[in-house]
Structure 1
Amino acid sequence: MLKARVFTAVLLISVFLSAVFFLPPLGWAAFATVIASLAAWEWGALMKAGALSRVFLAVGMLSACFALALIDPAGVGIVDGSSDGVWRLGRLFYWPAAFFWLVLAPLWLVRHWPLPASALAVLVGVIVILPAWLALIQIRSVGPWLLVIVMAVVWCADTGAYVFGRALGRHKLAPRISPGKTWEGAIGGAGVVIAYGFIVIPHLPPFLSGNHLIFAVGLLFLTAVSVTGDLFESLLKRQVGLKDSSRMLPGHGGILDRIDSLTSTLPLVALVLLSGSN
């Protein structure tokens, strides 16, 4: 299992970095669309949908992404355009995503609501996946390094939480949802994120890093949101009796297992970038 996990991790990192740095904008959009479609297929498992329904969810997500790219390629960020043009669709998708992750998702975690097998569950899946898809494309359109730096915030939070949780973890963070997570791990992960943030601060747009105190608070906030995304998917999996969203990635579970924290953080970062571009 360890060999499979390491091999899959190396392969995923290699494919991702190759895609983000070498694919043209349209190719990157296609890459992000494949990820979103596979995530939608896995979302069907969280809805307890049948095999055919899960295929329809994947095709529906693929069609939605294709339609957005076809109708407004500049707004998606796959062709050159003005800064305002690139972020145009962001106003439509990022604010609902922010409301979901900052208000509804925390309430969902407290109330332990089940995911209904209905149109409402599909709508929740769209809010979880589609804004993250758009953010992947639009943040990368600003610069591939910026996207990597932003995504590395989540990776640092996860790694720090694992290391500090294993070494110092005593107090459970959410025992009914994810028994392995601890407050010590979460605090350690936040500390790693702060250290990382001040290392990469010279490479960020000035409006993001002009005030160091606000920047540090923003990093802590982003870390908390990443934990919310992780716990939200963990809750849904536990409710339907799944350990992983799928077995697509040997040793790592499924696509949603790898991007759960990114679905919550990327749209919020994109919303900040949208505000800064105006």
Structure 2
Amino acid sequence: MLKYRLITAIILIPLVIAALFLLSPAAFGYVVIAVCALGAWEWAQFAGWQTQAKRIVLAVVFAVALLAMQFSFADMTMLANEPLILYGLWAGLIWWVVAIVLVVTYPQSAQAWGQSAIVRALFGVLTIIPFYCGMMVLRTIGYHTDTFFGAWWLLYVMLLVWGADSGAYAFGRTMGRHKMAPKVSPGKTWEGLAGGLITAGIISWLFSLFAPIPVMPDYLLVTSIIVVVVSVFGDLTESMFKRQSGIKDSSHLIPGHGGILDRIDSLTAAIPVFAGLNLLVFNGFGL
């Protein structure tokens, strides 16, 4: 299993970096839509739709909706002014506050949503659509000044989440004693979260020092800390839905890693929240 995880990571990481820096905004959007469609195909199980036909239909619906959204944009390089993008980011900010409450109160919260396929499918909409909006607006932010400006920010969020996750794992394994959400994911501890936040602070500081783009350190640190906390709950939210559905992995699309959602669960929370905070709340990009 470890061998497959390493091989997959060695292949995927260069592909992700290449997509960030080499693809045009439109082409990048098509890649993100493909990822979102696969995520929707996996999410169908969380809604209780187990048959391949229903899962494929949901994936196609998401793909068509996101393609229609992308084709409606007047300028693919100025998405920070697009109402649909802004609505998507606001929806993401609100949803992740709600999701945190659902996780903290699980399994009691499942009494309200656990038996409704429509509600669970709606949760998928609120997870995947804001993720697309966040990915696209971050990639195109400041595009006319520096075509790679947004790519660096997206790479930063990914490194932040992956680094904080590694820090949380290390601290949790060595010092973890107090469970965060034992009824959702017994492996998550408060000590691990503290380790993740320390790691996030270090990554934020290093990025402020060495980033090839202008950075506002205070805003970056504040948003990074918030984003890491939310990213942890992104992971826990998927774990909650898998536990409720009796599923171990969202799929087996990625050898050694499970499914698409298993790999991007933290990012589905981190990306829209980071974009929303910096664009709608703090103006942290200074543009």
Answer whether TM exceeds 0.5 for this pair: yes
Question: Is 1:92 equivalent to 2:72 in the alignment?
Answer: no
Deviation at 1:47, TM superposition (A): 1.5
- Distance between the aligned counterparts of 2:234 and 2:262, measured in 1? 10
The number of equivalent residue pairs is 267
- Distance between the aligned counterparts of 1:25 and 1:215, measured in 2? 24
User: Structure 2 counterpart of 1:197, which letter?
Assistant: S
- Distance between the aligned counterparts of 2:224 and 2:66, measured in 1? 30
2:202 paired residue among 189, 195, 198: 195
Equivalent position of 2:39 in the other structure: 39
User: Structure 2 counterpart of 1:186, which letter?
Assistant: L
Equivalent position of 2:4 in the other structure: 4
Deviations 1:112-160 (A, max 9, x none): 2334443222221111001101211110112211110122111111110
Deviations 1:222-266 (A, max 9, x none): 111111111010011111111111111111111111111111111
- Using the aligned pairs only, state the percent identity: 37
- Distance between the aligned counterparts of 2:115 and 2:22, measured in 1? 40
- Distance between the aligned counterparts of 1:66 and 1:216, measured in 2? 34
- Distance between the aligned counterparts of 1:80 and 1:20, measured in 2? 14
1:266 paired residue among 250, 255, 271: 271
**Is the CA contact (8 Å cut-off) linking 1:90 and 1:271 kept in structure 2?**
no
Deviation at 1:220, TM superposition (A): 2.0
**Is the CA contact (8 Å cut-off) linking 1:20 and 1:144 kept in structure 2?**
yes
- Distance between the aligned counterparts of 1:177 and 1:162, measured in 2? 17
Equivalent position of 1:24 in the other structure: 24
In structure 2, relative to structure 1, the CA distance for the partners of 1:174 and 1:191 (3 Å cut) is same
Question: Is 1:59 equivalent to 2:60 in the alignment?
Answer: yes
- Distance between the aligned counterparts of 2:23 and 2:254, measured in 1? 22
Deviations 1:89-133 (A, max 9, x none): 23211112111112x112211332334443222221111001101
Say what the alpha-carbon RMSD is for the aligned residues.
1.8
Deviation at 1:63, TM superposition (A): 0.5
- Distance between the aligned counterparts of 1:238 and 1:118, measured in 2? 15
Indicate the SS of the match to 1:259: helix
Structure 1: runs of 5+ lacking an equivalent? none
Q: For structure 1, which segment, 117-126 or 225-234, has the greater mean C-alpha deviation from structure 2 after superposition?
A: 117-126
**Is the CA contact (8 Å cut-off) linking 1:90 and 1:274 kept in structure 2?**
no
2:96 paired residue among 101, 118, 121: 101
- Distance between the aligned counterparts of 2:152 and 2:160, measured in 1? 13
Deviation at 1:273, TM superposition (A): 3.3
- Distance between the aligned counterparts of 1:126 and 1:13, measured in 2? 27
Equivalent position of 1:111 in the other structure: 105
- Distance between the aligned counterparts of 2:161 and 2:60, measured in 1? 28
User: Structure 2 counterpart of 1:88, which letter?
Assistant: P
Q: Where does 1:75-224 land on structure 2 (aligned, <5 Å)?
A: 79-81=76-78, 85=81, 87-102=82-97, 104-112=98-106, 113-114=109-110, 115-142=114-141, 143-202=150-209, 203=211, 205-206=214-215, 208-209=216-217, 212=218, 215-224=220-229
Deviation at 1:45, TM superposition (A): 1.2
**Is the CA contact (8 Å cut-off) linking 2:224 and 2:274 kept in structure 1?**
no
Indicate the SS of the match to 2:250: coil
Deviation at 1:73, TM superposition (A): 4.5
User: Structure 2 counterpart of 1:94, which letter?
Assistant: L
Indicate the SS of the match to 2:255: coil
- Distance between the aligned counterparts of 2:177 and 2:124, measured in 1? 34
User: Structure 2 counterpart of 1:47, which letter?
Assistant: A
In structure 2, relative to structure 1, the CA distance for the partners of 1:71 and 1:47 (3 Å cut) is same
